[in-house]
Amino acid sequence: MHYNNIPFFEIGFEFFGQIEQNKFCTQCKSNLVYYDNFDTYFCPKCNSWTESKCSDLHCEYCPNRPEYPLTL
């Protein structure tokens, strides 16, 4: 299945989030994806986060966030 040219199921990757129809990557202009587990957006085409990790020592999201969103 392809959605906005992103073959999520073909690469065997599952995440909890949503494809944003009105937010786009500044580099490639693809739709951004909101990733619930890490409370941030990423570009699946560039495989990059749109925000850097925060400096909050008590943050429940950033310490567990991998370097790249799509780690296969």
Taking only the tens place, the pLDDT of each residue in 21-68 is: 899 999 999 999 999 889 999 998 999 999 999 999 999 999 999 999
What CA–CA distance (Å, rounded) separates 19 from 42? Answer: 10
- Nearest of 22, 66, 23 to residue 48 by alpha carbon: 66
Q: Please tell me whether the overall predicted TM-score, pTM, comes out greater than 0.85 for this model.
A: no
Q: 5: alpha, beta or left, given left = phi > 0 and alpha = psi -120 to 50?
A: left
pLDDT at 10: 42
